[in-house]
A and B are shown apart, each in its own frame.
Chain A
Amino acid sequence: MGSTVFKGGIHPDYHKELTATMAVTEMKTPGKVVIPLQQHIGAPCEPLEAIEVGTEVKIGQKIAQSSGFVSAPIHASVSGKITAIGPYNHPLGRPVEAITIESDGEEKWDESIKPPGDPGNLTPEQIREIVREAGIVGLGGATFPAHVKLSPPPEKKIDIVVINGAECEPYLTADHRVMLEKPEEIVFGLKMMIKALGAEKGVIGVEDNKTDALKVLEQQVAEEGNITVASLHTKYPQGAEKMLIQVTTGRIVPAGGLPLDVGVVNHNVGTAVAITNAVREGKPLVDRVVTVTGAGINRPQNLLVRIGTLVSDVLEQCGGLKEDTVKLVIGGPMMGLAQPSPDIPVIKGTSGILALTGDDVYLAEISPCIRCAKCVDHCPVQLMPTSIAQAAEHEMFKKAEKLHAMDCFECGCCAYVCPSKIPLVQWIRIAKAEIAKANKK
């Protein structure tokens, strides 16, 4: 099954050696955490009634939720006292309402955290409820609420659950370490998803540059009749859901559609572990593995970080930023977001903190398009990026829409290969925003 390869894509320098062999270590509990009320795609949360400045909270205590279905509740990640509720810097750019908790250092877990019962006896409905209450979202970075993907509309029959262990973004090794260190939890989480969805089988897709992870997972699933591990060609963006589903199941997700349209649901390996923790121990999502890496980091490592920990505190734990750091990115180098300051919290979707130095960041002058077609050849969803960018530049957004701009998921292959260094993704993003605006009217 691993023989099929998707069209397009690139082979960037991966730089994973910086952290690939480093076991995940738990970061020391920060003095304070700032927990944004929006860390997922969907409706933002509201603080619970009892939550106000001065309230004492414990780890795992639910502090905010939303009545909307596409949303995920938020839990305290340290024990201590709430010192502020108000807008705070957010990795997505705009300040977002956040709850600041000053840690009391006692690390007390909330009394409500207990195993919900024998996992074997849980009904699909109960699994979904546990996942929802645990505030689990897609940990690969997209942060879509996990319980929503486990609740497909009844007319959509799901038969395959695909677990994403591709980790195709350069530099990042968080998923790699999770696969090496928590294979049992990944497979258990997958089995819970299969049960919740009434699916038939599961596939764990891993890029073939992580042979050790492939081996560990293959051993883990050896006894499982309906779960396989697929070795995937190492090529970016192998972990993009459409590409991953194509190579692991042979199915093509329709344009503008969702994996469930072809009977597939996919989740990240980290999400699978979070689901296991919730189902077995009742533990909500209060921490996650973050790869702190790049030439600008003094001591690159994989850290288990509490949600809400300030990036500046994480950097301090890693020996701080080097003087020649020019870019601080949350996420990977291909799709991550550059930050103006490290004064932002780690959120549920933060898979990496990347510090790039002058050598890594290409700041060449932009040249005109020479129509070399490299962007066309490397686009994994068969777009003509330079044509869309040109349409956007001339504010011809109808034309951009006809060129399927909305199918772009901003993987960045086009801008990576462009010899003219045209910011193609940026132009396409402008086109997408304008098209969305026009279509809303």
Chain B
Amino acid sequence: MNKVQSLITSSSPHIKSDETISNAMRDVFIALLPVTLVSIYFFQAYAVLTIAVCLVTACLTEVLFRKLMNKKPTLYDWSALVTGLFVALLFQATTPWYKAALATFIAVGIAKELAGGLGWNRFNPALFGRVALVVLAPAYAYVNQWFQPLHINLGMLDTITQATPLAMMRAGMVMPSVGELFTGFPAGALSEVSPLALLIGAAYLFYKKHISWHIPVSIIGTVVVLTLIAGQNPIYHIVTGGIMIGAFFMATDWVSSPFTTKGKIIFGICIGILIVVFRVGLLITEGVAFSILIMNAFVPMIERMTSRSQFGKIKAVAVPMADNKS
């Protein structure tokens, strides 16, 4: 026993689960693949270009910002790729590639890295990037002029000129069947083409225990109830637009959602209410994105309100012994 050993003396626990941030982020990426593939099936080269541009921009932006801030690059944690893919899925296939790239740059560079990096961003980065372009539309229109020559024409696709189902609904047009909308209908943003594909991805995240039911169920439940009250068909609302990706993927983003169970439910209900207000009341597009971002801002407050009660909480009772170990 005279072997010289250098033994590690770090704190307990001495065993840890195999789960890492990289694994978890990679799982989110995997969960987005079904809808990504369906969108490529419908929009072909357009979708491929948008997605590729966003992924590359996300990685370059992260490396650039971390270099400027003297931090080690963390591309291995998949978070830049996930944000990049999210941004791509939030745009329509015909969006000019430089517009998607700009949104990705804002998402990764400003919403995430400038906020302190992964874990510190208050707002969902992808939604922040997407909405920034909506809010800054006048400025973008100006910028657009410089980029115009860079536009790549991939030829025409029949599908991409189609009106989105939500626009059709507002215009009182004849709607495609719910079944068609659910399995695959090529209109709107890449992520809106197939609720079914999103659900398959979400099921994977549930299976891997990365997300819980609380946020998606409270968002969708609230939308169903409120649209019924408003006298509309709730099914159309759920299978169209950004509700599916919003409820299952965006609002459940760990960093920008509450971590208490009660908080998750309150967060979800509030998002649901806002979505219906935006969609039915104000007739604004991007209602889901706005709703989630607004509620992101309230997360610290929600967490304070729903702070977990103590195990075995009692009203002041004298405790006989100071030592509570046994």
Contacts and interface: CB of A to CB of B under 8 A. Distances in A.
A binds B: yes
Interface stretch (A98-106, A125-133, A192-200, A257-265): A257-265
B10 A338 contact: yes
Given A334-B12, A336-B14, A326 B7 contact: yes
Interface size range of chain A in the complex: 35 or more
B311 A370 contact: no
Interface centre among B9, B210, B312, B325 (most CB of A within 10 A): B312
Contact of A256 (B12, B19, B119, B319): B319
A369 B8 CA distance: 24
B1 A315 contact: yes
Interface in A333-363: 333-342, 354, 356, 360-363
B326 A138 contact: yes
A416 B7 contact: no
Contact of B259 (A327, A337, A371, A421): A371
Contacts of B307: 384, 403
Contacts of A70: 323
Given A320-B1, A340-B7, A371 B309 contact: no
A93 to B, nearest CB: 9
Contacts of A356: 14-15
Contacts of B323: 41, 70, 144
B311 A252 contact: yes
B196 interface: no
B19 A156 contact: no
B16 interface: yes
Grouping DSSP codes into helix (H, G, I), strand (E, B) and loop, the A interface class, with mixed when no group exceeds half, is loop
A312 B13 contact: no
A373 B259 contact: yes
B72 to A, nearest CB: 9
B314 interface: yes
Contacts of B136: none
Interface residues of B, number: 49
Nearest to A331: B12
Interface in B98-119: 117-119
A194 B24 CA distance: 50
A333 B16 CA distance: 9
A241 B74 CA distance: 42
A423 B11 contact: yes
A426 interface: yes
A334 B11 CA distance: 10
A169 to B, nearest CB: 10
Interface string B209-244: 010100000000000000000000000000000000
B313 interface: yes
B7 A415 contact: no
A177 to B, nearest CB: 22
Interface stretch (A20-28, A222-230, A404-412): A404-412
Interface string A60-77: 000000000010000000
Interface string A419-441: 11101011001000000000000
A425 B11 contact: yes
Interface string A173-186: 00000000000000
B5 A321 contact: yes
B207 to A, nearest CB: 15
Contact of A370 (B1, B254, B321): B254
A89 interface: no
B325 A142 contact: yes
Contacts of B170: none
Contacts of B5: 321, 325, 328
A340 B6 CA distance: 8
Given A254-B319, A258-B320, A327-B8, 15 more contacts: A12-B17, A255-B313, A323-B3, A327-B14, A333-B13, A334-B12, A336-B12, A338-B10, A340-B9, A356-B15, A377-B261, A404-B310, A407-B310, A420-B20, A425-B12
Interface of B: 1, 3, 5, 7-17, 19-21, 23-24, 74, 77, 117-120, 210, 212, 254-255, 257, 259-261, 307-314, 317, 319-321, 323-326
Interface of A: 10, 12-13, 41, 70, 138, 142, 144, 149, 153, 156, 170, 241-242, 252-261, 266, 312, 315-316, 320-321, 323, 325-329, 333-342, 354, 356, 360-364, 367-374, 376-377, 380-384, 386, 403-404, 407, 410, 412, 415-421, 423, 425-426, 429
7 contacts: A156-B320, A242-B312, A255-B311, A340-B7, A380-B311, A381-B312, A382-B309
